[in-house]
Amino acid sequence: MKVLVVGGGGREHALTWKIAQSPLVKRIYCAPGNAGMAALAECVSIKAEDVEALAAFAAEKKVDLTVVGPEAPLVAGIADAFRRRGLAVFGPDREAAQMEGSKDFAKRLMLEAGVPTGKAEVFTDIEEAKACIAGGKPPFVVKADGLAAGKGVVIAQDDRSAYEALKACFLDRAFGAAGEKVLIEEFLQGQEVSILTFVDGEDILPMAPAQDYKRVGDGDTGPNTGGMGSYSPVPALSDEDYRRAVEEILRPTARALAARGIRYRGILYAGLILTSEGPKVLEFNVRFGDPETQAVLPRLKSDLVEAMLAVVEGRLASTNLEWRDDACVTVVVASGGYPADYAKGYPISGLDEAGAMEDVTVFHAGTRLGDGGRIITDGGRVLNVSALGRDFAHARARAYEAVERIRFQDMYYRGDIALRAVGG
């Protein structure tokens, strides 16, 4: 079969890498792809947000399955456009994608379904929002309602920081239309865990858990990013809390969507926090996590394409997944200055040496081919280095050894990814 992967980041490289392992797949296209994905697939210069062009391409090439990586095209209705043409697509339609496209929508659905989550108030007026801050007790969680590329959440430790976050949304329009509505949410204490779940209507199939690192600096310091690293499994998540997450969060959410007449088909990403009262929802996303996918898929023994087809064909209830016992650690190698301003176009060396290490895979996130076919930097998050090991200490050591073989100007990475899991 022919598969089209939409997107060009580290998550999409990991998806392409795993899809290429399926005996069902004969050819892969990526749109737009990156320098790493080009080694596995034919990259085509169509942007992930160009829904109509992608649908026309899939129809022309007789693509059997399209896998959508990023959230923006899903929220824009790419799955609807494909299904109207009779094209098989893995991903929720526009209505279902509101679970990520509108935090207000997701919060209301959770409250209806009795899903444990933090308390929140919704505002469209900055003065009313400021009054809420003035009458509350920090820390405050200020969230832009819509898509903000993983950067629309601020944990404000005092009133002034909260006011600045409100100003960024309402007055500075830092997130455009996504910040026209803002949630002020209860701050929840605990470790965060992500569970990616295959969903087809009321049927769900959860994957192995992962934990990611949002802050740019060691010790969880500095501004939020799209993610600076991840690991799987998660020692802090007990078997009982995993069961509760499935039965009290994931399954009721799927049922609540179905009760609204929304058939969810794709991946539902639950961003959870392990509180003293049990797991609660911080956020839902409607696609594979980034960089969690890069830590989860190397542990997956099952055929990823088979699981995706089970969703598309409505037979998820009879599908199972098998996992490796190994730990996986993923370190994000970023451009200096990220998530603020950074330079592009620096040549990268050491990729072959790092990728040749046993049980190490280097996923490209922000790369492209430069003059003479040399791979150069082309984004804030440049590479994701994933390593498997018999335990977290072994996986960490292997991942960082691989990272140290890579070089480009101003490269930056956190040195504490999965450190809390060692010995866990």
In a domain, 357, yes or no: yes
Q: Tell whether 293 and 338 lie within a shared domain.
A: no
Q: Are residues 310 and 248 in the same domain?
A: yes
What is the mean pLDDT of the segment spanning 300-315? 97
- Cβ-Cβ contacts under 8 Å for 368 (sequence gap 6 or more): 34, 35, 375, 376, 378
- For residues 133 and 140, the answer to whether their CB atoms sit within 8 Å is yes
Here the tokens at position 184 are 């002020």
Determine contact, residues 69/62, Cβ cutoff 8 Å.
Answer: no
d(CA 117, CA 188): 9
Helices 251-259, 103-113: inter-axial angle, 10-degree rounding? 100
With helix as H, strand as E and coil as C, how does 318-367 read?
HCCCCECCCEEEEEEEEECCCCCCCCCCCECECHHHHHCCCCEEEEECCE
Q: E strand or H helix at 152, and its extent?
A: none
Q: Which helix (H) or strand (E) holds 265?
A: strand 265-275
The answer to whether the CB of 198 falls within 8 A of the CB of 316 is yes
What CATH number does the domain containing 202 carry? 3.30.470.20
Give the whole-angstrom CA distance, residue 293 versus residue 208. 10
pLDDT for residue 230: 98
Q: Specify if 112 maps to a domain.
A: no
Give the residue from 257, 283, 318 where a domain finishes. Answer: 318
Same-domain pairing of 195 and 296: yes
Rounded to two decimals, what is the model's pTM? 0.95
- Residue 175 domain boundaries: 120-185
- The domain that contains 383 carries what CATH number? 3.90.600.10
Determine the average pLDDT of the residues in 145-169: 87
- Torsion angle of C-alpha atoms 285, 289, 290, 296, degrees rounded to 10: 170
On whether both 265 and 172 belong to a single domain, the answer is no
Q: Which distant-in-sequence residues (6+ apart) come within 8 Å of 39 by Cβ?
A: none
Q: Are both 206 and 304 inside the same structural domain?
A: yes
Confidence of residue 276 (pLDDT cuts 50, 70, 90): very high
Tell me the one-letter amino acid at 185: E
CA quadruple 16, 22, 24, 26: dihedral sign: positive
Q: Are residues 195 and 298 in the same domain?
A: yes
The pLDDT value recorded for residue 379 is 96
Share of the chain above pLDDT 70, in %: 99
How far is it, in rounded angstroms, from Cα 201 to Cα 217?
A: 39
pLDDT higher than threshold 60 for residue 424: no
3-state secondary structure of 294: helix
Alpha-carbon distance 127 to 17, whole Å? 49
Residues 346 and 402 placed together within one structural domain of the fold: yes
Average pLDDT, the chain: 95
111 belongs to a structural domain: no
- pLDDT, one tens digit per residue, over 68-92 is 999 999 999 999 999 999 999 999 9
Supply the pLDDT for residue 150: 66
What is the domain-level CATH number for residue 34?
A: 3.40.50.20
Q: Which residue has tokens 């009262």?
A: 277
pLDDT, tens digit (0-9, with 9 covering 90-100), for 5-28? 999 999 999 999 999 999 999 999
Q: Looking at the domain assignment, is residue 104 inside a domain?
A: no
CB 380 within 8 A of CB 339: yes
Q: Determine how many CB atoms are found less than 10 A away from the CB of residue 81.
A: 20
Residue 175 domain-assigned?
yes
Q: What is the mean pLDDT of residues 151-157?
A: 84
Mean pLDDT in residue range 285-298: 97
Q: Which of 185, 203, 232 is the last residue of a domain?
A: 185
Question: Which pLDDT value is given to residue 126?
Answer: 93
Q: DSSP letter at 407?
A: B
Task: Find the mean pLDDT for residues 397-414.
Answer: 98
* pLDDT for residue 26: 98
Total domains in the fold of the chain: 4
What is the structure's pLDDT at 373?
Answer: 87
Q: What is the largest CA-CA distance in the chain?
A: 61
> In the listed set 60, 94, 128, which residue is the last one of a domain according to the structure?
94
Residue 154 has pLDDT above 90, yes or no: no
Residue 99 lies in a domain: no
Whether 199 and 269 share a structural domain: yes
What is the band of 56 on the pLDDT scale with cuts at 50, 70, 90?
very high
* 3-class SS of residue 76: coil
- What is the pLDDT at residue 280? 97
